[in-house]
């Protein structure tokens, strides 16, 4: 397939929304925002072998490209609206690009995000999505708004994606039915993370600070601590684990290391204690479990308490490129 045939086919299948003035097909896209709205922009690149395994299903790669970007918008409390997609591939043939686009558009359509432009070039595979969202002016959830005395929460469960990565290559033949099912669940969480879009928006005006857990809880909450000039003390035993993780990883130390491993795309946020009671309604409305995992106070860094309430030595660090 040639570049322009590809762009034409893409143009024919993308869905628009009421903010799109001009989408794919001109030199640039035109989008509009309501008065009093701010525009929130984020870009993430996915590189084969770094952000997804070399043998990952193309539909999962497309889905994850959308998911990680929508997760960044969610962490700001923004409503995702538009995106552009820069695609570099060795070839547009060979059955790779069709499922890739399908996976990408599946998640974009779920959130009514319009693909309004991009670029298509030949080269080693790389996928870059720029996602654009909106929110009422002044309501974005930053990393720097946390206050001493805040309580720290995390959505969903931690460690599934890291566990799926750790279990890769391990043969499944020896696993019984329950464990096989659990492993499939973990693999799904790695391949198709759920961006907490509704939760992020619901936390506007309630959370003081928010971040999505991509590099690992300690690393990401560390950004909030640094930006807000605070220290976090987390209860290691309180970190939420999925049934699948509990089924497959018995050792609590191993489990904790995986829970700090990253790639979960859950939201970690801080709220004033007096706002905690509003979280039950938000959890119910967004169908997202919310777990209290610790507190913020004066100092610096992210610290963990063991089951006896004693400070642990640093359990594990998150992911960092060029380390
Ligand atoms: P230009 O030469 O002006 O960069 P292109 O020929 O690259 O234009 O692109 C034509 C149109 O197709 C533009 O609207 C561009 O945004 C869109 N487009 C190209 N590649 C993609 C892609 N991978 N995803 C979405 N839109 C794309
Ligand atoms: Mg171009």
Task: Kindly report the protein residue whose alpha carbon is nearest to atom 19 of ligand 1.
Answer: 119
Any atom of ligand 1 within 6 Å of the Cβ of 118: yes
Mean pLDDT calculated for residue range 75-86:
98
> Does residue 113 surpass a pLDDT of 60?
yes
Which residues, 6 or more positions from 134, have their beta carbon under 8 angstroms from its beta carbon? 19, 33, 34, 37, 38, 39, 40, 78, 79, 81
> Does residue 314 surpass a pLDDT of 90?
no
pLDDT in tens, 1-16: 899 999 999 999 999 9
- H or E element at residue 122: strand 114-122
- SS3 assignment, position 88: strand
Of 156, 28, 27, residue with least CA distance to 82: 28
CA dihedral 252, 254, 256, 261 (to 10 degrees): -160
Of 163, 165, 146, 139, residue with least CA distance to 36: 139
pLDDT in tens, 251-305: 999 999 999 999 999 999 999 999 999 999 999 999 999 999 999 999 999 999 9
Ligand nearest the Cα of residue 85 is 1
The pLDDT assigned to 54 comes to 83
What's the CA-to-centroid distance between 97 and ligand 1, angstroms? Answer: 16
What's the CA-to-centroid distance between 22 and ligand 2, angstroms? Answer: 16
Classify burial at 53, counting beta carbons within 10 Å of its beta carbon; exposed 0-12, middle 13-18, buried 19 or more. middle
- SS3 assignment, position 15: coil
Contact 262, 213 (CB under 8 A): yes
What's the CA-to-centroid distance between 197 and ligand 2, angstroms? Answer: 30
Q: How confident is the model at residue 180 (pLDDT cuts 50, 70, 90)?
A: very high
pLDDT in tens, 17-64: 999 999 999 999 999 999 999 999 999 999 988 888 888 999 999 999
Mean pLDDT calculated for residue range 175-194:
94
Q: How confident is the model at residue 322 (pLDDT cuts 50, 70, 90)?
A: low
Query: What gap in Å lies between CA 262 and CA 161, rounded to an integer?
Result: 7
> Does residue 316 surpass a pLDDT of 70?
no
Of 162, 188, 266, residue with least CA distance to 220: 266
């Amino acid at each position: 397939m040639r570049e322009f045939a590809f762009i034409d086919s893409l143009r024919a299948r993308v869905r628009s929304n009421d903010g799109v003035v001009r989408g794919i097909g001109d030199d640039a896209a035109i989008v509009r925002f309501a008065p009093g709205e701010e525009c929130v922009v984020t870009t993430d690149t996915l590189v084969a072998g770094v952000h997804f395994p070399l043998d990952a299903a193309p539909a999962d790669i497309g889905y994850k490209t959308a998911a990680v970007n929508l997760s960044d918008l969610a962490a700001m409390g923004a409503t995702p609206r538009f995106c552009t997609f820069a695609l570099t591939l060795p070839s547009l043939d060979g059955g790779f690009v069709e499922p890739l686009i399908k996976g990408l558009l599946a998640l974009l359509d779920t959130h009514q995000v319009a693909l309004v432009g991009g670029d298509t070039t030949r080269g080693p595979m790389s996928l870059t999505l720029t996602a654009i969202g909106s929110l009422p002016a002044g309501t974005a959830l930053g990393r720097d708004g946390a206050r001493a005395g805040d309580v720290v929460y995390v959505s969903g469960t931690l460690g599934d994606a890291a566990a799926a990565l750790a279990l890769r290559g391990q043969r499944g033949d020896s696993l019984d039915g329950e464990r096989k099912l659990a492993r499939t669940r973990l693999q799904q969480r790695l391949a198709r993370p759920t961006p907490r879009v509704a939760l992020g928006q619901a936390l506007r005006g309630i959370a003081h600070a928010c971040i999505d857990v991509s590099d690992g809880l300690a690393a990401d909450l560390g950004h909030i601590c640094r930006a807000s000039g605070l220290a976090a003390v987390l209860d290691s035993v309180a970190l939420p684990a999925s049934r699948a993780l509990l089924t497959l990883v018995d050792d609590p130390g191993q489990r904790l290391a995986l829970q700090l491993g990253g790639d979960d795309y859950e939201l970690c946020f801080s709220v004033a204690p007096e706002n905690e009671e509003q979280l039950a309604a938000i959890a119910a409305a967004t169908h997202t479990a919310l777990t209290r995992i610790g507190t913020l106070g004066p100092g610096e860094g992210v610290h963990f308490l063991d089951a006896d309430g004693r400070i642990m030595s640093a359990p594990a660090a998150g992911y960092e490129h060029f380390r």
